[in-house]
Amino acid sequence: MDTRPSGSSPPVLSSAAIALNRFGLGARPGDAPPTDPRGWITGQFARFDIRPAGFAALADAGALLDRYRDERQAARADAGDAATAKVAMQAGRRDFREEVQALYRAGVQARADAALATEAPFVERMVHFWSNHFCVSAENPRVTALAAAFERDAIRPHVLGRFSDMLLAVERHPAMLLYLNQAQSIGPGSPAAARAPDRRRGLNENLAREILELHTLGVRSGYTQADVTELARALTGWSVGPAAGFAFRPAQHEPGERTIMGRYYPQAGEAQARAALLDFAAAPATATHVATKVARHFAGDEPPSAMVERLARGFVASRGHLPTLYRALAASPEAWVPSPVKFKTPWEWTISALRGLGRRQVGAMQIAAFQTQLGQRVWRPGAPAGWDDVAASWAGSDALLRRVEVAQRLAAPLGDTADARTFAPRIMPAALSEATAQQIARSESPASAVALMLASPDFLRR
Amino acid sequence: MIARRHLLATAALGAGALFVAPGLALATVPTERRFVFIIQRGAADGLDILRPVGDPGFAALRGRLIGEEAPGLKLDGTFTLHPALAEVGRMYGRGEALFVHAVASPYRDRSHFDGQNVLETGGAQPYAVRDGWMNRLVAMMPRSAEEAIAVTSTLPAALRGPVAVASYAPSALPAAADDLMTRVTALYDADAQLHAPWQAALEARGMAGAVTGTRQAPASLGQLAASFLVKPDGPRVAMMETLGWDTHSGQKGRLAAQLKNLDAMLAALRDGLGPVWATATVLVATEFGRTAAINGTGGTDHGTGSAAMLVGGNVRGGRVLGDWPGLMTASLYEGRDLRPTTALDALIAGAVAEGLAIDPDMVDGRLFGRAVGKRRVDGLIKA
């Protein structure tokens, strides 16, 4: 879909504006427009903060889950009668859910704080990109408790590393193992299944399918139902241990050799699925899948095929070295088209708005609540495919109304302290259309002008 | 009649000609009938919703999932309804609910996202068709954009396409001030991409009137949809979404909760429509079904055939349709899933054509780009 405005003459974006707003997370009023926009992107790799203070300070989700499990066991054991036990357990569940929600909200605040304070906004954007590619969805309390830790511990440390390392960290993370039901999947021929034949425990192929379909090779890339089932068998035993750590449970692993996509995996135990994952990470289909998504994120909803092929070739040649991928991206002319190519998602819009207003930390503002209103709850896309990265999913009529409403809410506290007429050209250098500048100048109040700037077509896109 | 067929043949010559003179090609006068599509995203388990308890293979496959639970309404010699669907059961008793078992879209792999794309676009394969079949439907109606509303915060794929359809979901945010709205409107009106959805948003906001501030409880969503559909000059077609049907584990409790919500939504829609219910057809369908066998975690994995529902005062209900394929291993699709015997697009085509009284041949050709023809499921709607 064409995301360029028609009617009044569209501004020709400067490379500096493209770097700050399309590759970065949005300009801050104090940012000097970079004189070397490509170097501005690649120069950030050394400045990325893997574990910002907000993420480091989060309460330990593993300890919370263990304590809750112990309390439930104690309540069952201590209670004299079933009714007392039930009451105690209900109260315990209520407290637990509240703690989980508090931890989730603190995690969202930490994510937003990192995005506002960072000196490496392109790398932070890639964290958000990969977190969505390998998403969990915070629906049940355990995944909700672990969602922030998933991004912090499985995504952030590898965003400047190798795809294969990120893949392994993601699939071994308890949030993923719980979200896609891997923790409960038992080999039907395993000792654990044999010990309790009446419980009839067995395979769950959810994670196996999404690894192939979403995380690596991509849908319709040639794998079959038999490959999904074989991978599910290889993955049995991958589970969650104490303190929400990865645990391999040999007794649950389906014994025997596996054949997946024509390749033979004779390994015993944990190494079997690991070997398969490393093969998927190196497969050309994975390179094309990843390159397509990266190109879509920077060059437009319909990614140019020449760019996809180029990025994919580099991905294979560098064996999934992500900084190499980012350098190839920054060198791609298709990503520097001087008119807006992307409609911002609600998250991108919220962060760029706060950065544009000069905020360095979120403070008391509840980002999780804003994102719910805007229709893109953090770490909760509702499905393992993650959020869509195309305008058609976000430029809906109700979604537009909500952005205007939130823009007004963000602008209101500023009163007349901010003048959008001087502000707007600074955060959208050489990117502000004449029509928007005019409407801003004619607004009834300074706050209304700031709200209009944030809701303007120029600011909705990057 | 002959003239109209001639016109259709002309229009079918090229995709570009499809929207030539839509008013002229329309098969019907302005309608008083209503059509609602409720999509179940995540692959709802038809075998647990419409349980084939009379099938000799059922108990072995599914007995553990049902356990000692009180049986639901007995529909006929083969099927009982999941007990959480109490209101739907009442509709069935009054002849206002109809079920079709072993249905599937043309899609045969097991990806949610591809499956939903086929269900919503009406294509034969994923991403083969760009716009949604409901968008093509409203293009055939006299007032196009005003004929439909999505009670969702973003527009579902089924309603995306050349006709700008509004979406509306209740918001807890304060409404923006007039000055801001006026200036935003001036900017968006000059924008090719934002013009249409913004106009639709303004119209929807005007229409929503009193029913704001209610968050998305299933009953309030049903009520909200009804409040649009009862307006004399309001939309005739609506779409709603339900999420959370992907029951890989703990299916017993989760599916019961899902169905309770769906039941409340349908009852609220019926009650909110009041006398208009008599003219309404509501289709409930999902992208594909789930495995016949239970998996190792008290749930079911992605499958193929599922069940669809039609409810509404307009429906010739009190029946279960479909050619039951049976649950013996040899009868299952790929040895694991309920084998589809009724095409979901044929059911949709029949429900839309009869429900809105539109020429069925036109519905087949335009909505699904192929002749559903003899496969079309007929006799769904009271004359």
pLDDT of residue B186: 85
Reduced to 3 states (helix: H, G, I; strand: E, B; else coil), residue A26 is: coil
CA of B133: how far to CAs of B109, B139, B343, B352, B364, in Å? 21, 10, 15, 11, 10
What one-character-per-residue DSSP string does A261-329 give? Answer: TTEEE---THHHHHHHHHHHHHSHHHHHHHHHHHHHHHH-SS--HHHHHHHHHHHHHTTSBHHHHHHHH
pLDDT in the model for residue A1: 35
Say which residue, B152 or A117, is predicted with more confidence: A117
Q: Is residue A318 part of a domain?
A: yes
Contacts of A199 (CB under 8 A, 6+ apart): none
Who contacts A339 (Cβ-Cβ below 8 Å, separation ≥6)?
Answer: A4, A10, A11, A12, A13
Residue pair B239/B156 in contact (Cβ under 8 Å)? The answer is: yes
Terminal-residue alpha carbon distance, chain B: 20
Q: How far out from the chain centre does Cα B143 lie?
A: 21
Q: Which tokens hold the place of B37?
A: 């599509």
A359 and A326 within one domain: no
pLDDT surpasses 90 at B233: no
**Window 259-288 of B, Cβ < 8 Å to A:** none
Q: B175 — contact with chain A (CB < 8 Å)?
A: yes
d(CA A148, CA A103): 8
Shared domain check, A324 and A237: no
Searching chain B, which residue's CA lies closest to the CA of residue A199? B296
For residue A83, the model assigns a pLDDT of: 82
Fold topology of B33-170+211-375: Alkaline Phosphatase, subunit A (3.40.720)
Per-residue pLDDT averaged across B54-82, rounded? 91
User: Which residues of chain A make contact with B190, given a CB cutoff of 8 A?
Assistant: 5-8, 435
| Residue B140 neighbours by CB under 8 Å, 6+ apart | B22, B25, B26, B27, B358, B362, B363, B366
Residue B25 has pLDDT above 50, yes or no: no
Do residue A316 and residue A215 come from a single domain?
Answer: no
Report yes or no on A51 lying in a domain.
Answer: no
Taking each helix axis as running N to C, give the angle between helix A367-374 and helix A82-117, from 0 to 180 degrees, rounded to the nearest 10.
90
**Distance spanning both ends of chain A, measured CA to CA:** 15
Q: Do B193 and A2 touch (CB under 8 A)?
A: yes
* Lookup: tokens for A196: 């309790």
Phi-psi sector, B151: left (phi>0), alpha (psi -120 to 50), beta = beta
Contact at CB, A404 and B180, closer than 8 angstroms: yes
Task: Let me know whether A455 and A358 are in one domain.
Answer: yes
User: Taking CB atoms and an 8 Å cutoff, what residues of chain B touch A383?
Assistant: 41-42, 112-113, 243, 246
* Residue owning tokens 């190792």: B296
Q: What is the C-alpha to C-alpha distance for residues A282 and A317, in angstroms, rounded to an integer?
A: 10
Residue A122, domain member (yes or no): no
How does the average pLDDT of chain A come out, rounded?
A: 93
Cross-strand bridge partners of residue A224: none
pLDDT tens digit string along B179-210? 788 889 889 988 988 988 888 887 777 655 43
pLDDT: is B153 or A130 the higher one?
A130
Q: Which two tokens mark A436?
A: 């928007």
Each residue of A187-228: pLDDT tens digit? Answer: 999 999 999 887 778 999 999 999 999 999 999 999 999 999
| Mean pLDDT, range B215-240, rounded to an integer | 87
Interchain CB distance below 8 Å, B176 and A442 = no
- Flag if A451 and B176 touch (Cβ within 8 Å): yes
The amino acid present at A297, given as its one-letter code, is: H
Could you tell me if residue A26 is inside a domain?
A: yes
Q: Is B166 on the interface with A (CB under 8 A)?
A: yes
Claim to verify: residue A318 and residue A270 sit in the same structural domain:
no
Q: Which residue in A has a C-alpha nearest to residue B200's C-alpha?
A: A397
Helices (H), A137-282: 141-150, 163-172, 174-179, 191-195, 206-210, 225-235, 270-282
Tell me what the mean pLDDT of segment A245-257 comes to: 97
The predicted pLDDT at position B220 comes to 84
Q: Are residues A409 and A362 in the same domain?
A: yes
Q: How confident is the model at residue B373 (pLDDT cuts 50, 70, 90)?
A: low
Query: What is the rounded (10 degree) CA torsion for A367, A369, A375, A379?
Result: 60
The reply to whether A248 falls in a domain is yes
Give the rounded percent of residues in chain B with a pLDDT score beyond 70: 85
**CA of B165, closest CA in chain A: separation in Å?**
9
Q: Distances from the Cα of B13 to the Cαs of A387, B26, B139, in angstroms?
A: 37, 17, 18
The total number of structural domains that make up chain A? 3
Measure in Å the smallest separation between the Cα of A392 and chain B Cα atoms: 8
SS3 A19: helix
B249–A204 CB contact, under 8 Å: yes
The verdict on A303 and A399 lying in the same domain is no
Assess contact for B308 and B66: CB atoms under 8 A: no
Contact call for residues B140 and B26 (beta carbons, < 8 A): yes
Partners of residue A219 in chain B, C-beta under 8 Å: 109, 111, 113-114, 126
Has residue A115 been placed in a domain?
no
Residue A97 is encoded by which pair of tokens? 């859910």
Q: Are A267 and A253 in contact (CB under 8 A)?
A: no
Q: Which pLDDT value is given to residue B81?
A: 97
For B151, the 3-state DSSP assignment is: coil
Closest CA to A151 of A347, A393, A284, A306: A347
What ipTM does this complex have?
A: 0.88
For chain A, percent of residues with pLDDT exceeding 70: 98
pLDDT of B21 strictly over 70: no
What is residue A357's DSSP assignment? Answer: T
Tell me the average pLDDT across A236-260.
Answer: 96
Range of the domain at A425: 15-40+342-460
**Which residue, among A139, A349, A374, A398, would best test binding to B if mutated, counting the most B CBs under 10 Å from its CB?**
A398
Do A375 and B154 count as a contact with CB atoms less than 8 A apart?
yes
The amino acid occupying position B337 is: D
Contact assignment for A373 to B173 by CB distance below 8 Å: yes
DSSP secondary structure letter of residue B290? B
Answer yes or no: do A206 and A273 share one domain: yes
Of A358, A298, A343, A338, nearest to A430 by C-alpha is A338
Q: With 70 as the cut, is the pLDDT of residue B174 above it?
A: no
d(CA A238, CA A248) in angstroms, rounded, equals 5
Task: Tell me if chain B has a CB within 8 Å of the CB of A404.
Answer: yes
pTM for the predicted model, two decimal places: 0.76
- A456 and A357 assigned to the same domain: yes
CA nearest to B201 within chain A: A397
- The per-residue b/e assignment along A254-284, b for 16 or more CB within 10 angstroms, e otherwise, is beeebebbeeebeeeebebbbbbbebbbbbe
Contact A344, A21 (CB under 8 A): no
Residue B20, min C-alpha distance to chain A (Å): 22
pLDDT digits (tens, 9 = 90+) for A70-87: 988 888 887 677 788 888
**B75-116 tens-digit pLDDT:** 999 999 999 999 999 999 999 999 999 999 999 998 887 899
**Cα distance between residue B363 and residue B138, in whole Å:** 11
Sign of the C-alpha dihedral computed for residues B367, B372, B373 and B375 taken in this order:
negative
Any CB–CB contact under 8 A between B334 and chain A? yes
> Are A258 and A363 part of one and the same domain?
no
**Which of A7, A396, A435 has the CB atom closest to B154's CB atom?**
A396
* Side chain identity at residue A126, one-letter code: M
pLDDT value of residue B374: 62
- A271 and A304 both lie in a single domain: no
> Is residue A263 located within the same domain as residue A304?
no
Mean per-residue pLDDT of chain B: 84
Contact A5, B191 (CB under 8 A): yes
Percent of chain B with pLDDT over 90: 52
A142 in a structural domain: no
Inter-chain contacts counted by CB atoms under 8 A, chains A and B: 180
pLDDT higher than 50, residue B18? no
Q: Is A261 left (phi over 0), alpha (psi -120 to 50) or beta?
A: left
B80 within 8 A of B323, measured Cβ to Cβ: no
Bridge partners of residue B81, in order along the sequence: B50
Residue A4: inside a domain: no
